[in-house]
Amino acid sequence: MTDRGGQLRVMIVDDHPLVRAAVARAIAGDGMIVVAEAATAEEAIDIALTIAPDILLVDIALPGMSGLELVRELAPRLPATSIVMLTTSSSERDAADAMRNGARGYLTKDVSPEALARSLEGTRTGELVMSRKLAARLMARMSWRGQSERVERVERASPVEQLTTRERDVLRLLADGLGDRDIAAALTISRRTVETHVSSILHKLGVTNRAEAARRYRDAT
């Protein structure tokens, strides 16, 4: 991954020359060396593919192609390069999009020079390059989104799909015309347990008798 005695080779992509110069000064030292700079994503693609830097520091707000689009373009083509966003945006959505598209870190430009250098050094050991505060917010967002999607899937599911596995087994046999005794024998459970499942099935399906429940099952399958 590295050369020059273990130095990390860094490329900076930012449309502001002063920012590129400040970042270069902040990370200059024995552990890192800036090997290239680019002001646009389009320019960065050709250079990055040619030199394959160890770290690619990318701003989101670039003229033309955005930094997020650049990540989407380069991440699969430079698997050994750690792409780290360095931007003014502290948006959880931007951070999530960047990480989803292949970025391995997300830093905002209010990071101190020392913290920036320390974070980039962490890429050697695969550390998450992100502030603890943003990482916590991002994890909370992802957790909420996952819960929301699960709830949405349940709400979209038909009443039959919301039954437990055992209740669906009982309903399937009920729809096949079996009585409680035969269902109990087929599932190796007691008749009382079958009756309990049937009562729960009728309640969940919003029907009043077994025939209606069986019809619901046949309609759903």
- For residue 115, the domain's CATH number is 3.40.50.2300
Where is average pLDDT lowest: 20-34, 116-130, 141-155? 141-155
Expressed as residue numbers, the domain containing 110 is 8-144
78 confidence band (pLDDT: 50, 70, 90): very high
Same domain, 209 and 172: yes
Give the containing element (helix H, strand E) for 37: strand 32-38
Q: For residue range 104-125, what is the model confidence (pLDDT) as tens digits?
A: 989 999 999 999 999 999 888 8
The predicted model gives 116-143 an average pLDDT of 78
* Phi and psi at residue 182, to the nearest 5°: -70, -35
> Phi/psi at 185 (nearest 5 deg)?
-65, -40
Q: Is the pLDDT of residue 43 over 80?
A: yes
pLDDT tens-digit map of 145-177:
555 455 455 445 567 877 888 888 999 999 999
Residue 73, token pair as written in the block: 């373009």
Written in H, E and C, the secondary structure of 129-193 is EECHHHHHHHHHHHHHHHHHHHHHHHHHCCCCCCCCHHHHHHHHHHHCCCCHHHHHHHHCCCHHH
Res 4: pLDDT: 42
Domain count, the chain: 2
For residue 134, the model assigns a pLDDT of 74
Q: 91 exposed, middle or buried (CB, 10 Å; 0-12, 13-18, 19+)? A: middle
Residue 154 lies in a domain: no
The strand pairing partners of 108, in sequence order, are 87
**Does 126 reside within a domain?**
yes
pLDDT at 81: 95
Measured CA to CA, the distance from residue 82 to residue 102 in angstroms comes to 9
pLDDT higher than 50, residue 5:
no
14 φ/ψ sector (left φ>0, alpha ψ -120 to 50, else beta): beta
Q: Is residue 157 assigned to a domain?
A: no
**70 and 125, same domain (yes or no):** yes
| Same structural domain, 180 and 114 | no
Q: Please give the average per-residue pLDDT across 67-82, as a whole number.
A: 93
Q: Is 8 helix (H, G, I), strand (E, B) or coil?
A: strand
Task: Based on the fold, state whether residues 65 and 137 are members of the same structural domain.
Answer: yes
Per 3-state DSSP, the chain is made up of helix, strand and coil in percentages (nearest 5) of 55, 15, 30
Which tens digit of pLDDT belongs to each residue from 6-19? 889 999 999 999 99
Same domain, 120 and 181: no
Report field, pTM of the whole predicted structure over 0.75: no
